[in-house]
Chains A and B, each alone.
Chain A
Amino acid sequence: MARKPKKKEIFALGNEVVVEGALLAGCTFFAGYPITPSTEIAEGMAARLPLIEDGVFVQMEDEIASLGAVIGASLAGRKAMTATSGPGFSLMQEHIGYACMAEVPLVIVNVMRGGPSTGLPTNPAQGDVQQARWGTHGDHPIIVLSACDVQDCLNMTITAFNFAEKYRTPVILLLDEITAHTREKIVLPRSDELTILNRTTPAMPPEWYVPYEETMRGVPPMPPLGSGYRYHVTGLTHDEHGYPTSKKSEVNALMHRLFRKIDQFFYDIHLVETIEVEDAEEVIIAYGCVARSAKLAVQKAREDGHKVGLLILKTLFPFPRPYVEKLARQCKKIIVPEMNMGQISREVKRVNNGRTQIITLNRVDGQIITPLEILKKVYKG
C-alpha cells in the first residue's frame, strides 16, 4: 500500500526544514532570540546542534546580541546563522552593516510577519523586502533570497550558506509566516548529492597575508581566528591590512570592491523560476507564498485559454533585472501581486522603464493573496 521511501522523506514545517537545510549546509553555530513566527528554527537548532560535532546553540539576550554572537562565531571559522522576524530584524540592522563592512559570511532568516512595529505577529506579510535591501545605514551590497514552499526552504537555506561563504557577505533569506508554518512532505537529499561551498582560507605564510587584499573575485581569503593569521577586524572603513583609514583613495577602493564582488557575479546570484513564460502575453511576477497562489492562478487561466506565465523570484536582491527586462519586452501586461504596498513592484517598474503595463496587486491585511484575486487582475486588469 504505502510507497517505500528510498531516501528519507519527512513531513515538516518550513521552519523545521530550514534547520535541516542549515545542517546539511554545514552550519554548526546558531544564536537567536525567540520571536513568532520564526521560533521553530531556534527550537530545532537547540535540539539538533548539541548532537553534532562542535555544534553550538545559544539563546542570547536580544537580536542585536544574537547577530553579534553569529559574527563572532563566523570570524572564528564557523558557518553560523540566526533566525528572526520583523521587530528582531529591525534590531539586527546595526550588525548587518558590520557584517557587510567586515565581510563576515553569515545567514539571517527573516520570517516576515505583519508590521510595522509589533504589527501582526501570527499573520503573513512581505513588508520587509526593501528593509532587507536597505535596512542598515550606509551604501552596501547584500544578497536577499526568498523561498516559496517547504522544499524551497531547504534549497534556499543551502544556497544562502553557499552564497555567504562564496562571497563573504551576510545573506538574508526572507520567508513569510505561511511558508514557515506550512507542513509538507519533502525528500532530504543525501549529502553526496549536494554542492556545499566553503570560504577560501589564506594560502600564503602568515607574514605575507594581507587581510583585505584586492583579488580577481574581489573576495579576500578568510582565516579563522587563532589559526596564525592575526589581523584586525573593524567596522570602520579600512585599508587592505584591515586598519582604519579615512584616506579617500583607500576608502574608495574598499567600497568599490565590496560592490564589485557581488556585481560581477549577477549571473551566478540571480535565481528565478519560470512557468509557462515562453508564449506568455501576460506575466505574473511573484515571490514567497504569493507565488503559490499565482501558480494556481496561472493553471486556471491557461485552462481558460489565457496565455499567462509566471516568474518566481528566488533572488530578490541584487534584483534579477535581465529576466524582468526580457519579459517587459515580450508581454503586454505584468502583474505584481505582493503582501505589501508595492516593494518589489517598485523594482519591476524601475526595470520596466515604461516599456509595458505594470499592474500591482497589494494586500496588507495579514491574509494571503488568493488565486482568485490574481485571476481577477488577469481578466480585468
Chain B
Amino acid sequence: MAKEYPLNRFEIRLSGLGGQGILTLGKIMGQALALEHGYYVTQTQSYGPEARGGASRSDVVISSYPISYPKTQNLDVLVALSQEACNLYFRNLKINGLLIVDNFMVEQVPTNSYVGLPFTKWAKDKIKVIQTTNIITLGALTYFLPFMNKNSVLKTLKQIFPAKIIEINVKALNLGFNQAKKRYKDIPERWLSS
C-alpha cells in the first residue's frame, strides 16, 4: 500500500470519552498501517486520569518516510465520538481536513462539511455489544481512507483479539465499512489530497 499511496505525515486524531475504546482503536489502526500496510507510523495517546472517563485521545501519524516529530501538528482527519472531544480538537483540523463524528453523540457539529455516522447506536442496536463502537468506527475509517486496505485491517484484528471475540469484531468492522459505503458513495476528492 505504501508504494501506491505515498504519504508525507498524514495525521489522524481519534478522540472521544474514556471507555469508548479510543486507545485500542489507535493501537489497532497503527499496527495495521505499520505492519500490514508497510507505512512508517507513530502512535501516541493521552494517559493518566483522562484515560478513565473524561476525554480520551489517540494520535496517529502516517508517512512513507521515517517520522521525526512523533506528535501531530495539523490534523488531516479528526474522529470525534463525543461532543466535548469535537469542541476541543476541531481547531487542530486542517482547513480541508476530514471530520468524522458520531452524530448520535455529537449534536452540535462546528462545520457543515463533515461525515456523521451513528457508530454508538449501531453498536447498541445492530451488534448489541456497546464495546464494538471503536471497531465499527475503524470499519468506516477503512472505507474513507484510500490507503487503508480492509483485508489487512482484518488480519490485524485477528492478531490482536483473542479467538473468542474475533467473530463479533469482524462483524463490527464489516458493518462500519458497508454502512459508510452505502451512505457516502462518492468520497469528495479534497479529502484524498493530503
User: Residues of A with Cβ closer than 8 Å to B?
Assistant: 1-3, 5, 9-11, 36-37, 121-122, 149, 177-178, 181-185, 289, 292-293, 295-296, 299, 368, 370-371
Q: Are A183 and B152 in contact (CB under 8 A)?
A: no
User: Residues of B with Cβ closer than 8 Å to A?
Assistant: 1, 27, 30-31, 34-38, 40-50, 67-71, 73, 149, 151-152, 155
Complex Cα distance A175/B49, Å? 21
Q: Are A185 and B34 in contact (CB under 8 A)?
A: yes
Q: Are B34 and A181 in contact (CB under 8 A)?
A: no
Complex Cα distance A85/B54, Å? 25
Q: Are A1 and B70 in contact (CB under 8 A)?
A: no
Provide a sorted-by-A list of 6 A–B residue pairs whose CB atoms are within 8 angstroms: A1-B1, A1-B37, A2-B155, A11-B27, A184-B43, A184-B67
Q: Are A183 and B42 in contact (CB under 8 A)?
A: yes
Task: Give me 7 other A-B pairs in contact (C-beta within 8 A), A183-B30, A184-B40, A292-B70 excluded.
Answer: A1-B151, A2-B36, A11-B43, A36-B47, A37-B47, A181-B44, A368-B71
Indicate the member of B31, B49, B70, B152 with the most A CB atoms within 10 Å: B70
Q: Are A295 and B68 in contact (CB under 8 A)?
A: yes
**Distance from B121 Cβ to chain A, minimum over Cβ atoms (Å):** 30
Write out the residue numbers on chain A whose beta carbons fall within 8 Å of the beta carbon of B41: 11, 183-185
Closest to A185 in B: B34
**Distance from B167 Cβ to chain A, minimum over Cβ atoms (Å):** 22
Complex Cα distance A295/B152, Å? 31
Complex Cα distance A289/B38, Å? 24
Quick one: which of A2, A9, A122, A296 contacts B68, CB cutoff 8 A? Answer: A296
Indicate the member of A5, A11, A122, A177 with the most B CB atoms within 10 Å: A11
Quick one: which of A2, A9, A185 contacts B152, CB cutoff 8 A? Answer: A2
Given A5-B35, A185-B35, answer yes or no on A122-B70 (Cβ-Cβ < 8 Å). no
**Distance from B31 Cβ to chain A, minimum over Cβ atoms (Å):** 4
Write out the residue numbers on chain A whose beta carbons fall within 8 Å of the beta carbon of B37: 1-2
Given A11-B35, A184-B41, answer yes or no on A289-B152 (Cβ-Cβ < 8 Å). no
Indicate the member of B1, B34, B41, B49 with the most A CB atoms within 10 Å: B34
**Distance from B33 Cβ to chain A, minimum over Cβ atoms (Å):** 9
**Distance from B132 Cβ to chain A, minimum over Cβ atoms (Å):** 22
Q: Are B68 and A1 in contact (CB under 8 A)?
A: no
Q: Are A293 and B27 in contact (CB under 8 A)?
A: no
Q: Are B34 and A11 in contact (CB under 8 A)?
A: yes
Q: Are B27 and A183 in contact (CB under 8 A)?
A: yes
Number of A-B contacts (CB under 8 A): 81
Main secondary structure of the interface of A (DSSP, over half): mixed
Complex Cα distance A58/B56, Å? 32
**Distance from B65 Cβ to chain A, minimum over Cβ atoms (Å):** 10
Complex Cα distance A182/B42, Å? 6
Complex Cα distance A182/B59, Å? 10
Write out the residue numbers on chain A whose beta carbons fall within 8 Å of the beta carbon of B71: 178, 368, 370
Write out the residue numbers on chain B whose beta carbons fall within 8 Å of the beta carbon of A370: 69, 71, 73
Write out the residue numbers on chain A whose beta carbons fall within 8 Å of the beta carbon of B149: 1
Complex Cα distance A1/B36, Å? 8
Complex Cα distance A2/B73, Å? 28
Q: Are B35 and A178 in contact (CB under 8 A)?
A: no
Complex Cα distance A289/B35, Å? 23
Q: Are B47 and A289 in contact (CB under 8 A)?
A: no
Q: Are B31 and A296 in contact (CB under 8 A)?
A: no
Q: Are B68 and A181 in contact (CB under 8 A)?
A: no
Complex Cα distance A368/B40, Å? 21
Write out the residue numbers on chain A whose beta carbons fall within 8 Å of the beta carbon of B67: 184
Quick one: which of B35, B42, B155 contacts A9, CB cutoff 8 A? Answer: B35
Indicate the member of B40, B43, B50 with the most A CB atoms within 10 Å: B43
Complex Cα distance A37/B180, Å? 37
Write out the residue numbers on chain A whose beta carbons fall within 8 Å of the beta carbon of B43: 11, 182-184
Quick one: which of B31, B45, B48 contacts A11, CB cutoff 8 A? Answer: B31
Write out the residue numbers on chain B whose beta carbons fall within 8 Å of the beta carbon of A295: 68-69
Q: Are A289 and B70 in contact (CB under 8 A)?
A: yes
Complex Cα distance A105/B69, Å? 34
**Distance from B2 Cβ to chain A, minimum over Cβ atoms (Å):** 8
Write out the residue numbers on chain A whose beta carbons fall within 8 Å of the beta carbon of B73: 370-371
Write out the residue numbers on chain B whose beta carbons fall within 8 Å of the beta carbon of A184: 34, 40-43, 67, 70
Complex Cα distance A177/B71, Å? 13
Closest to B40 in A: A185
Q: Are A3 and B34 in contact (CB under 8 A)?
A: no
Write out the residue numbers on chain A whose beta carbons fall within 8 Å of the beta carbon of B48: 36, 121-122
Indicate the member of B37, B38, B46, B50 with the most A CB atoms within 10 Å: B38
Closest to A295 in B: B68
Closest to A310 in B: B68
**Distance from A83 Cβ to chain B, minimum over Cβ atoms (Å):** 16
Write out the residue numbers on chain B whose beta carbons fall within 8 Å of the beta carbon of A11: 27, 30-31, 34-35, 41, 43
Q: Are B152 and A1 in contact (CB under 8 A)?
A: yes
Quick one: which of B46, B50, B68 contacts A299, CB cutoff 8 A? Answer: B68
Complex Cα distance A219/B36, Å? 47
Closest to B152 in A: A2
**Distance from A296 Cβ to chain B, minimum over Cβ atoms (Å):** 4
Write out the residue numbers on chain A whose beta carbons fall within 8 Å of the beta carbon of B49: 122
**Distance from B157 Cβ to chain A, minimum over Cβ atoms (Å):** 14
Complex Cα distance A181/B44, Å? 6
Closest to B60 in A: A183
